[in-house]
Amino acid sequence: MTALLEVEDLRVAYGKIEAVKGISFTVEAGQAVTLIGTNGAGKTTTLRTLSGLLKPLAGKITFDGEPLGGVPAHKIVERGLAHSPEGRRLFPRLTIAENLQLGAFLRKDTAGIDADIHRVYDLFPILGERRKQASGTLSGGEQQMLAMGRALMSRPKLLMLDEPSMGLSPIMMQKIMETIRELRSQGTTILLVEQNAQAALSLADQGHVMEIGRIVLSGSGYRLLHDESVRKAYLGED
Ligand code: ATP
């Protein structure tokens, strides 16, 4: 079986600074895969490159059997790869409902769009209750839910989530992680970038540890969660 996403020897630089130094990994359809690692490891850079927002120096990206190299960002969304970015990037003056509509900007099936908006409200009832509220006035956790909901509105084959737990209270973080788990069990394929290694590895089928632009360790979520070096470096254990 070929993977839904195949990344081979990907290198990305900002000017002379190489932020991603040749990484390879795959995401199989139906799996949740996580990239973990400390600040500056190159996780966000990797997702932004997969989305077509950054141009790689070298390497090969294959998505759903086709190369992604040189494909513009909006075409990548059309091909089924959605990105819920770090810092959320919502339209603060627009309501929840309007932000969700924008997530479906490539679609024309009005009935399907309405059904999917309701699916997002089922997933996150608070968004349904506040559908007419400007997104800029939502709490951090609610904004995160909306960012995920908006990414889902393109009906992606692969949903990429960049640090969904960032800045959230423990309870809110738990809720977001439960939802990611639920999406995964409904068959959504997920690539999750997280600094919260414990939470990410607990739900991931596969994990990769990144350090200064390289993948230094890979394994099942369970294996990495119980790996001594991971526990020491990323789970705060002595
Ligand atoms: P974080 O969790 O802090 O977002 P990360 O693993 O996602 O970390 P990146 O944001 O991908 O890491 O950053 C990787 C490296 O690239 C860092 O050294 C960072 O300073 C550098 N970098 C990121 N964005 C830029 C930019 N726009 N210009 C120059 N250097 C950048």
56 lines ligand 1 (CB under 6 A): no
Q: Look at residue 233 in the predicted model and tell me its pLDDT.
A: 85
Count of the separate structural domains present in the chain: 2
75, 172: one domain: yes
127, 217: one domain: no
Closest ligand 1 atom to 44 CA: 7
State in Å: Cα 89 to ligand 1 middle. Answer: 17
Per-residue pLDDT at 85 exceeds 90: no
34, 52: one domain: yes
Where is the domain boundary, 155, 182, 199? 155
Q: How far is CA 211 from CA 36, 109, 130, 174, 236, in A?
A: 9, 43, 40, 26, 16
Q: Look at residue 238 in the predicted model and tell me its pLDDT.
A: 60
The mean pLDDT value of the chain amounts to 92
203 lines ligand 1 (CB under 6 A): no
Q: List the CATH number of the domain containing 222.
A: 3.40.50.300
162, 238: one domain: yes
Tell me the C-alpha distance between 69 and 203, whole Å: 30
Rounded to an integer, the average pLDDT of 212-232 is 94
63, 164: one domain: yes
Closest ligand 1 atom to 46 CA: 11
41 lines ligand 1 (CB under 6 A): yes
227, 139: one domain: no
148, 222: one domain: no
pLDDT digits (tens, 9 = 90+) for 153-163: 988 999 999 99
pLDDT digits (tens, 9 = 90+) for 35-74: 999 889 999 999 999 999 999 999 999 999 999 988 999 8
Per-residue pLDDT at 191 exceeds 90: yes
73, 33: one domain: yes
State in Å: Cα 121 to ligand 1 middle. Answer: 33
161, 74: one domain: yes
**pTM for the full predicted model:** 0.92
H-run or E-run covering 8:
strand 5-14
Give the domain extent around 103: 88-155
Q: Look at residue 45 in the predicted model and tell me its pLDDT.
A: 96
213 lines ligand 1 (CB under 6 A): no
ipTM score over 0.90, yes or no: yes
Alpha helices in 155-227 (DSSP H): 170-185, 197-203, 221-225
221 lines ligand 1 (CB under 6 A): no
162, 138: one domain: no
Per-residue pLDDT at 88 exceeds 80: no
Where is the domain boundary, 155, 190, 213? 155
Where is the domain boundary, 108, 131, 155? 155
Closest-CA residue, ligand 1 atom 19, reads 40
**Hey, which of 12, 17, 57, 89 would you mutate to test ligand 1's pocket, going by the most ligand atoms within 8 Å of its Cβ?**
17
pLDDT digits (tens, 9 = 90+) for 114-147: 999 999 999 899 999 999 999 999 988 889 889 9
State in Å: Cα 118 to ligand 1 middle. Answer: 36
